[in-house]
Amino acid sequence: MKVLVLGATGSVGSAVQTLLKGGASVAALTRSAEKAKALPAGVEARMGDLNDPYHVGAAFKGVDAVFLLNAVSSTETQEGLFALEWAKLQGVKKLVHLSVQHVDRIPHLPHFASKIVIESAIEQSGLAYTILQPNNFCQNDYWYKDAMLQYGVYPQPLGSAGWDRVDIRDIADAAAKALDGDAANGTTVILAGPTSETGASTAATWSTHLGKPIAHAGDDLEAWERQNLQYLPPFMVFDFKMMYRWFQQHSLKAAPGEREATEKLIGHPMRTFDGFVKETAAMWQAS
C-alpha cells in the first residue's frame, strides 16, 4: 500500500508516518526543501503546493490512500478541495481526512466552516473515506514549554467547561487503521481522550509532574488576543479567539459511545492527558 500524507511535517502528520512500521510505503507532500530533508528515513518526499493545482497533481500519482490534513490558513477550503480533486483524478482508493470534533455544530468558526465544506465534498466524492474528528491535542502543550518552565504559567484559555483532550499518537493509530483496508469506511470517528480537562486542571497536572507551581493564566480572551497578535496572523488570532469563547461556554466532550467506538477502531484504550504530561515532563527535565 502506498500512502500519501498531506501535512506530514506537522505534529499529527509526523505521527502518521508510523505507517512505515506497519509495512506501508509512505510519501509526504511538502512545499519546503528543508522540511523534505528532515523527513524520517524511508519516507519519500514529494514536492508540491496545494495552492498551485497545476503542479501538485503528480504528487498523487501511484498512491493507494491519502491522509488529508490541512493547516489552518486563509486558503484551507481551497487546498482541501484541490487535494480531493487530484485524489479522484489520480485514482486514489481511500481518503482519510482529519477534521475537528463535532465540527458541524459550530459553523460560524472560519476554520471549522472550512472543514465542514471539505467533509461534505468527501462524502459525495465516490471515494472510500473515513473522517477523523479529534478533540484538542495534548501535544499542543509543547507550544507552552517555555512559558511553563521559565515563568510558571500555563497560557491556553481552556476555560472550565471541559475538553476531552486527545493524544496525537491515538490519532495516528486511528488514521493507520482507517488507511489500511476497509476499517471505518464511510464513517466519521470521534477522537476524544478519556478525561475532561479545564485550564485549571491542566495547570495542576503540569504542576504535579514538573514538580513546581504552574499557574493557569486565566480565561481573559482580550488579554490572550493582545499577547498573540504579537506572534500570529490577525485572521488566525480572531478565529481562535472565537473558538475559545465558544468552548469556554459549551465544552468539547465526547458523547456516550463515541470514545468506545474509537477504542474499537484503534484496538487499545485512549491515552490519558495525565500520562502524556508525566512522560513529557520527564523528557523536558532530562534534557
Q: What is the value of pTM for the model shown?
A: 0.95
**SS3 at position 162:** coil
Instruction: Show pLDDT as tens, one digit a residue, over the chain (287 residues).
Output: 899 999 887 788 777 767 777 778 899 999 888 888 888 888 899 999 999 999 999 999 999 999 999 999 999 999 999 999 999 999 999 999 999 999 999 999 999 999 999 999 999 999 999 999 999 999 999 999 999 999 999 999 999 999 999 999 999 999 999 998 788 999 999 999 999 999 999 999 999 999 999 999 999 999 999 999 999 999 999 999 999 999 999 999 999 999 898 899 999 999 999 999 999 999 999 98
CA neighbor of 281 nearest in space, from 192, 168, 203: 203
Does 172 fall in a domain? yes
Is residue 144 domain-resident? no
**How many separate domains does the chain show?**
1
Domain housing 63: 2-136+166-192+254-271
Residue 219 lies in a domain: no
Q: Kindly state whether residue 157 falls inside one of the protein's structural domains.
A: no
**Residue 85 is part of a domain; what is its CATH number?**
3.40.50.720
Q: How far apart are CA 250 and CA 163, in angstroms?
A: 10
- Residue 67 backbone phi and psi in degrees, to 5: -100, 115
In a domain, 215, yes or no: no
Structural domain includes residue 280: no
245 part of a folded domain: no
Residue 37 phi/psi, 5-degree rounding, is -65, -25
Whether residue 171 contacts residue 191, with contact meaning beta carbons closer than 8 Å, is answered with: yes
Is 109 contained in some domain? Answer: yes
Grid cell at residue 239? 478565529
